């Protein structure tokens, strides 16, 4: 090969070398992208999401708690109102029975005709908020329906009547019992002593 042919061959070889290098570079880049994509974290399955953002979830939870508290508060208010209504009805019934018993006893001389049918038991002050209270047990020992009026006196240390309370029972069947409570409204001190003063069957 002469010098002129060699000079013409060098540029052609150079072009071939550049093309070959470019091809290798392209293949290498393709390999890098391929290996890079294989190391990426898989995309999570969107079907497992609730579709709510953390702030939306927090808001929903707060709303649920508030709703539960509102329902609990309403239930508590309703229960309190029912308790107050019951207490008022019981107090009214006790007041009525006390008034009826007092009316029945106002014309009774002596201790009445039913002392043997009435007994008293003191209640612990721990159960009565410190008040002096006695459980009056009335038993109808006759063979007919009967009503009863009872007077309980609370005496001081000198034996003087410091307070009088009235309880009663209406339409007790033969052999039946009633247990009203006579409660002193006086302070715990000085200590008073309960006494069964009168018991009338009518």
pLDDT tens for each residue of the chain, 202 residues long: 544 444 454 444 444 444 444 444 444 444 444 444 445 555 555 554 445 555 655 566 666 667 767 776 666 566 555 545 544 554 777 888 899 999 999 999 999 999 999 999 998 888 887 889 999 999 999 999 999 999 999 999 999 999 999 999 999 999 999 999 999 989 988 999 999 999 999 9
How much is the pTM?
A: 0.56
Residue 30, pLDDT score: 47
Residue 55, pLDDT score: 61
Sign of CA dihedral 18, 21, 25, 30: positive
- Are 201 and 151 within 8 A, CB to CB? no
Residue 125, pLDDT score: 85
Ramachandran class of 128: left when φ > 0, alpha when ψ lies in -120 to 50, beta otherwise = alpha
Q: What six digits make up the tokens of 113? A: 């005709």
Residue 178, pLDDT score: 97
């Amino acid at each position: 090969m002469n010098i002129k042919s060699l000079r013409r061959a060098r540029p052609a070889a150079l072009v071939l070398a550049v093309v070959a290098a470019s091809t290798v570079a392209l293949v290498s880049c393709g390999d890098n992208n391929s290996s890079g994509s294989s190391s990426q974290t898989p995309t999570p399955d969107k079907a497992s999401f609730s579709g709510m953002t953390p702030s939306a979830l927090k808001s929903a939870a707060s709303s649920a708690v508030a709703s539960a508290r509102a329902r609990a508060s309403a239930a508590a208010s309703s229960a309190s109102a029912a308790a107050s209504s019951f207490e008022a009805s019981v107090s009214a019934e006790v007041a009525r029975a006390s008034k009826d018993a007092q009316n029945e006893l106002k014309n009774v001389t002596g201790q009445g005709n039913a002392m043997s049918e009435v007994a008293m038991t003191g209640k612990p002050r721990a159960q009565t908020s410190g008040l002096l209270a006695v459980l009056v047990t009335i038993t109808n020992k006759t063979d007919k329906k009967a009503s009863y009026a009872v007077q309980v006196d609370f005496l001081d240390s000198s034996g003087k009547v410091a307070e009088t309370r009235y309880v009663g029972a209406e339409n007790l069947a033969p052999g039946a019992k009633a247990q009203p409570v006579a409660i002193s409204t006086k302070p715990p001190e000085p200590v008073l002593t309960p006494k069964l003063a009168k018991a009338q069957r009518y």
